[in-house]
Amino acid sequence: MNPADLKILFVCMGNICRSPTAEGVLKKKLKDQGLFQGVFIDSAGTHNYHPGSAPDTRTQSHALKRGYDLSTLRARAVIEEDFEKFDWLLTMDWDNRALLEERCPKKYTHKIKGFTEFLQTTQASAIPDPYYGGDQGFEYVLDLIEEASDGLIQTLIQKVKR
């Protein structure tokens, strides 16, 4: 797999908080660092709760304060073609990982990973859903996503060096 041609799908439940944040953060970090212009990044939800909706306004507000504009992103559900199309399907938590693994054809299950696997220093097994919480939850999600994105970028750089 050539990292420059990698296709990454971030997955959470409704695709209005965590996964679009991860999509926006990774896109900006890669662009700002001039890395991997060929990487295709998208996000989707395991549930089709908000088809065509923009990310949650609180998600957008907190992301924008850190320089991430998520306003053009739109929610969608994971579809069967995603399992074949994407090289990595990175889930935000164990519940959504289990839902993906149930739906995924066996030959593609190796593509499903937890996004927290790329955290560099923080010990977390999931990126929690901030939807029902306050401002601190959205900030914590951004902290985790920024760190995991940095770890993912380091992983891609290591793949290029091999």
**How much is the pLDDT for 1?**
54
Name the residue ranges covered by the structural domains of the chain.
3-161
Long-range CB contacts (< 8 A, 24+ apart) of 100-105? 100/11, 100/46, 103/78
Hey, which residues are catalytic here? Answer: 12, 18, 129
Apex 119 CA angle, 118 and 123, nearest 5: 135
Tell me which architecture the domain covering 3-161 has in CATH. 3-Layer(aba) Sandwich (3.40)
Contact of 23 with 65, CB cutoff 8 Å: no
**How much is the pLDDT for 158?**
86
What pTM was computed for the model?
0.96
What are the residue ranges in the chain where pLDDT is below 50? none
Q: Which amino acid is at 62?
A: H
